[in-house]
Amino acid sequence: MINDLKTITILFRATNEIEKIIADDVLQYGLNPSEFGALEVLYHKGALPVQSICEKVLIASSSMSYVIENLIKKEFINKTKNIQDKRYHIVELSDKGRHLMDEIYPKHVQKLRKVINILNQDEELSLQINLKKLGKQEK
């Protein structure tokens, strides 16, 4: 194999740096990355069951419960029982949450585009293809 695990090390270092940029960016809005992730999913997908948010944000259900409760306290989301199945809760952005995301999401995208724009369009597309290939392989 070429350079042992050098590719993995580079991938982890890049991921850590991007995670730090994201954390610093959302912190200025009083959010942590998990809270922002949940708000972002609801912003783009609309009302969802808690489990669907967990799957999209890629965090454990127990951690998501904490995130949901924090966002309710901050009045960014509403949680109600699912009408069809009372065992599940539906979460949606509140008016305050939608207003927040309308304001901060474009700024967040702009910040992250500055990070990605070091790559030209072909390099970015190649990176997407290769990362998908790595992520979807059989185990």
Output the average pLDDT for the chain: 92
- Give the whole-angstrom CA distance, residue 94 versus residue 90: 12
Q: State the pLDDT at residue 135.
A: 87
Facing residues of 78 across strands? 92
- Give the whole-angstrom CA distance, residue 122 versus residue 39: 31
Measured between its terminal Cα atoms, the distance across the chain in Å is 18
- Give the whole-angstrom CA distance, residue 101 versus residue 40: 7
**Average pLDDT, integer, range 20-40:** 96
Per-residue pLDDT reduced to its tens digit, 52-89: 998 898 888 788 889 999 999 999 999 998 777 777 88
Sequence-distant (≥ 6) Cβ neighbours of residue 29 within 8 angstroms: 36, 100, 104
- Give the whole-angstrom CA distance, residue 100 versus residue 96: 6
Q: Which of 27-31, 83-87, 122-126 has the lowest mean pLDDT?
A: 83-87
